[in-house]
């Protein structure tokens, strides 16, 4: 299913959520053991990489006895490891994350990110779109740029970031306004909240394949992004972030677009050589809901 199809599914999900809130609906069912286990796993974050039983229980909002049982099972499954008197996500989970199709794009992108970082001296990021958010897959930056909001794995509202806007611009803009949340989430006072204003901006982004942000993700931070396009679908995006007070070199826009173009061709060549051409976006059949058969999901 393409991303637009996913957005349609999200809207259907909202309708289902309304009906499920009625007495006796699914919203009143007790959370499953699996969902509770994921609440425990999601309690870990870049700021709290090692957590005690008590800390996990508070963060997951679950009874301490329940979390203790869940942790015992998660340790057996190699999802969590002991660390002193606490726990941490296991390397086994990292291994699972490394086998996602998106990891191929990440591996191929790393040398390109490093070159852009060396040339600009700025933070360079790779991201993909998930529903209305952009997920950061990789980043090359100075240590002082590793803010918690922009660390690898962070999930940010697409409308607040140059990465997200570069990706949204390749959607069907005539339909997109119907699926975006109203009002849209914001991270700073400068973030775009109005859907119509965002869509109008995205039309210009699509023409140039360049999106910009200024004080929209973080105060004092500006950025420019461009999409990695395969078969007319944006499978990912590259961004260069820098202090508002320190402009990028004049050739930065061209260098960024050229880099994304090279990376897109490299991705296609690599998948073709490995017999993974079916991972290309635009090659899957039209979804049953009638949405465009544009889905990049096989790749990202």
- Rounded average pLDDT over 171-180: 89
Give the pLDDT confidence score for residue 126 in this predicted structure.
96
Question: Which pLDDT band holds residue 92 (cuts at 50, 70, 90)?
Answer: confident
State the Cα–Cα distance between residues 122 and 248, nearest whole angstrom. 8
Q: How many domains does the chain have?
A: 2
Give the pLDDT confidence score for residue 151 in this predicted structure.
80
Domain at 60, CATH number: 1.10.10.10
Q: Strands of 233-243's sheet, edge to edge?
A: 155-157, 133-140, 123-130, 233-243, 221-230, 211-214
Residue 175 domain-assigned (yes or no): yes
User: What share of the chain in percent tops pLDDT 70?
Assistant: 81
Let me know whether 113 and 225 are in one domain.
yes
- Cβ-in-10-Å burial (0-12, 13-18, 19+) of 86 comes to middle
In this prediction the pTM is 0.76
- The C-alpha angle 173, 228, 256, rounded to 5 degrees, equals 110
Residue 84 has pLDDT above 80, yes or no: yes
| pLDDT tens digits along 27-64 | 444 568 899 999 999 898 777 889 999 999 999 999 99
| pLDDT tens digits along 11-28 | 444 333 333 333 444 444
Let me know whether 196 and 221 are in one domain.
yes
Let me know whether 48 and 71 are in one domain.
yes
Let me know whether 123 and 269 are in one domain.
yes
Domain at 171, CATH number: 3.30.450.40
Let me know whether 181 and 223 are in one domain.
yes
Question: Which pLDDT band holds residue 147 (cuts at 50, 70, 90)?
Answer: low
Residue 284 has pLDDT above 60, yes or no: no
Give the pLDDT confidence score for residue 9 in this predicted structure.
44
**Segment among 181-185, 241-245, 296-300 with least mean pLDDT:** 296-300
Residue 232 domain-assigned (yes or no): yes
Let me know whether 115 and 206 are in one domain.
yes
Query: What is the distance between the terminal CA atoms of the chain, rounded to a whole angstrom?
Result: 12
Residue 172 domain-assigned (yes or no): yes
Residue 266 domain-assigned (yes or no): yes
Let me know whether 85 and 194 are in one domain.
no
| pLDDT tens digits along 95-132 | 887 777 788 899 999 999 999 999 999 999 999 999 88
User: What share of the chain in percent tops pLDDT 90?
Assistant: 59
Give the pLDDT confidence score for residue 293 in this predicted structure.
41
Give the pLDDT confidence score for residue 287 in this predicted structure.
43
Let me know whether 52 and 145 are in one domain.
no
- Rounded average pLDDT over 162-169: 96
- Rounded average pLDDT over 283-295: 42
Q: Which domain holds residue 256?
A: 102-279
Among 56, 91, 126, identify where a domain stops: 91
Let me know whether 44 and 185 are in one domain.
no
> Using an 8 Å Cβ cutoff, are 44 and 52 in contact?
no
């Amino acid at each position: 299913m393409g991303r637009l199809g996913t957005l349609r599914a999200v809207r259907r999900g909202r309708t289902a959520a309304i009906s499920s809130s009625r007495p006796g609906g699914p919203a009143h069912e007790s959370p499953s053991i699996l969902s509770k286990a994921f609440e425990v796993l999601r309690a870990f974050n870049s700021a709290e990489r090692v957590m005690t039983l008590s800390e996990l229980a508070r963060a997951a909002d679950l009874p301490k006895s329940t979390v203790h049982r869940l942790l015992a099972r998660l340790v057996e499954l190699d999802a969590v490891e002991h660390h002193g008197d606490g726990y941490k996500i296991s390397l086994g989970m990292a291994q699972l994350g490394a086998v996602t199709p998106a990891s191929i794009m990440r591996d191929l992108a790393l040398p390109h990110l490093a070159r852009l970082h060396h040339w600009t001296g700025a933070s360079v990021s790779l991201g993909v779109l998930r529903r209305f958010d952009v997920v950061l897959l990789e980043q090359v930056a100075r240590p002082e740029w590793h803010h918690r909001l922009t660390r690898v794995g962070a999930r940010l509202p697409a409308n607040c970031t140059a990465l997200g806007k570069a990706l949204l611009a390749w959607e069907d803009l005539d339909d997109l306004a119907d699926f975006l949340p109203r009002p849209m989430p914001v991270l700073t006072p400068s973030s775009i909240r109005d859907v119509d204003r965002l869509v109008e901006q995205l039309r210009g982004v699509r023409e140039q394949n360049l999106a910009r942000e200024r004080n929209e993700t973080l105060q004092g931070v500006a950025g420019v992004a461009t999409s990695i396009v395969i078969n007319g679908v944006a499978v990912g995006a590259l961004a260069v972030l820098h202090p508002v007070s320190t402009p990028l070199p004049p050739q930065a826009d061209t260098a960024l677009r050229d880099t994304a173009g090279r990376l897109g061709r490299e991705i296609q060549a690599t998948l073709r050589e490995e017999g993974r051409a079916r991972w290309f976006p635009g090659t899957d059949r039209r979804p049953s809901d009638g949405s465009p058969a544009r889905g990049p999901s096989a790749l990202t």
